[in-house]
């Protein structure tokens, strides 16, 4: 598989549907050129919106802290929250 091929990657609420977020982030790191950008959003299971969704029987898989820690482990630098 090719590595270091993309200048940027965007994942908008994709990680909400993938239990293995660590695997996804490792792959993002692999395909991005060194120092390039990953932009993504996800539903934070610790948020107020998540608490309201829980009342409807829906929930998010990941918390902000969990994803932030996984990003750091893979080598990403958090620039903006």
- pLDDT digits over 61-81, tens only? 888 899 999 999 999 999 888
The pLDDT assigned to 70 comes to: 95
Contact 15, 41 (CB under 8 A): no
Q: What is the pLDDT of residues 13-57, one digit of tens each?
A: 888 889 999 999 999 999 999 989 999 898 888 888 888 888 898
Task: Tell me the C-alpha distance between 75 and 25, whole Å.
Answer: 10
Residue 12, token pair as written in the block: 């908008």
The pLDDT assigned to 69 comes to: 95
Domain range list for the chain: 6-74
Does the predicted TM-score (pTM) go above 0.75?
yes
CB-count burial class (<10 Å; 0-12, 13-18, 19+) for 39 = exposed
Measured distance between the N- and C-terminal CA atoms of the chain, rounded to whole angstroms: 31
């Amino acid at each position: 598989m090719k590595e270091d091929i993309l200048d940027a990657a965007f994942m908008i609420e994709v990680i909400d549907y993938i239990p293995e977020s660590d695997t996804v982030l490792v792959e993002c790191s692999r395909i991005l050129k060194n120092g390039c950008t990953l932009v993504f959003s996800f539903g934070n299971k610790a948020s107020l919106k998540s608490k309201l969704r829980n009342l409807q029987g829906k929930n998010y898989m990941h918390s902000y802290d969990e994803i932030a820690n996984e990003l750091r482990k893979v080598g990403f630098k958090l620039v903006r929250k």
